[in-house]
Amino acid sequence: MSKVILKTSEEIELIRISSLLVGDTHAEVAKHIRPGVKTAELDKIAETYIRDMGGIPSFKGYGGFPASLCISVNEAVVHGIPGNYEIKPGDVVSVDCGILKNRYHGDSAYTYLIQDQGIDSKIKLLKITLESLQIGCNFAAPGKRVGDIGHAVQQHAEKHGYGVVRELVGHGLGRDLHEKPEVPNYGKAGNGPSLKAGTTICIEPMINMGTKAVKTLADRWTIVTADGKPSAHFEHVVAITESGPEILSSFQKIEEEIKRNEYLVSI
């Protein structure tokens, strides 16, 4: 079994550069999310931007995945393949992006909501999922355990009646897109591997409006909720440092673009 790879401060800075470029890419995509746009168009915008900025899309070709972004709409939890689907009012659109630059990966997800009537329940789902990410990040500190993060995420999501996906988890990040340790969004406080300074992880709650159960579609990639209700997904890259958690990715530019885009809802 592979071990957790601790990073130097210089390596953490390189991961930060890749992670911030992921945020910039999200912001570029956010400019173009609106009813009628095809998810494949968003993917093309992202890939062009990533390569123009000197990066390589981490996801494209990874395990045979055919695109630069995972775009998962409504009941799709993760790993949605961009295609001819046209975004509609009221859609919940989860976008996951990974970038390799300077030999280190960045990886971050954000869920967008298209303006429409009667979307209050979807707004709450996104809000609670984002809060669960923020709460989980607080436990990414030396001496804490992976179970502390998962427990915090699970407790916040479940107290609002939401399902926490079990089959998919966060992960370590560095020269490889997926490293040890795995970071589940559920668990018992005080359990799991101990967190050490120099560890870099992705914390990524995947929270369903209904059941926690999921299934995989015939394309062998797209994972959807078993009851067809919407799901939300947010992800940060976090470095565990001697002084506590340090979030290397950023949603700031994304949220600025959302405010400028009349078709998107600010959470």
Domain ranges, ordered by start, for the chain: 9-260
Give the residue-averaged pLDDT of 89-104.
98
pLDDT digits (tens, 9 = 90+) for 25-72: 999 999 999 999 999 999 999 999 999 999 999 999 999 999 999 999
Pairwise CA distance, residues 46 & 109, whole Å: 13
Cα separation, 198 vs 241, whole angstroms: 6
Each residue's pLDDT tens digit, 183-206: 999 999 999 999 999 999 999 999
Q: How confident is the model at residue 1 (pLDDT cuts 50, 70, 90)?
A: very low
Instruction: For residues 115 and 91, give the distance between their C-alpha atoms in angstroms, rounded to a whole number.
Output: 8
Among 171, 25, 49, 176, residue whose Cα is nearest residue 104: 176
Please give the helix or strand (H or E) that residue 126 lies within, else none.
helix 120-137
pLDDT digits (tens, 9 = 90+) for 5-29: 999 999 999 999 999 999 999 999 9
Record the tokens describing residue 225, joined without a space. Answer: 């909720």
- Which single residue is written with the structure tokens 């401060």? 9
- In tens, the pLDDT along 75-88 reads 999 999 999 999 99
pLDDT at 111 over 90: yes
Res 2: pLDDT: 75
Q: Could you read off the pLDDT of 202-243 as tens digits, one per residue?
A: 999 999 999 999 999 999 999 999 999 999 999 999 999 999
Q: Is the pLDDT of residue 263 over 70?
A: yes
Give me the amino acid identity at 231.
S
Output the furthest CA–CA distance in the chain (Å, rounded): 50
Second-level CATH architecture of 9-260: Alpha-Beta Complex (3.90)
d(CA 238, CA 15): 10
Task: Please report the pLDDT score of residue 186 as a whole number.
Answer: 98
Locate 116 and state its tokens. Answer: 């429409």
The reported pTM is 0.98
At 150, the amino acid letter reads G
User: Minimal CA–CA distance to 61: which of 94, 109, 98, 29?
Assistant: 98
pLDDT at 154: 98
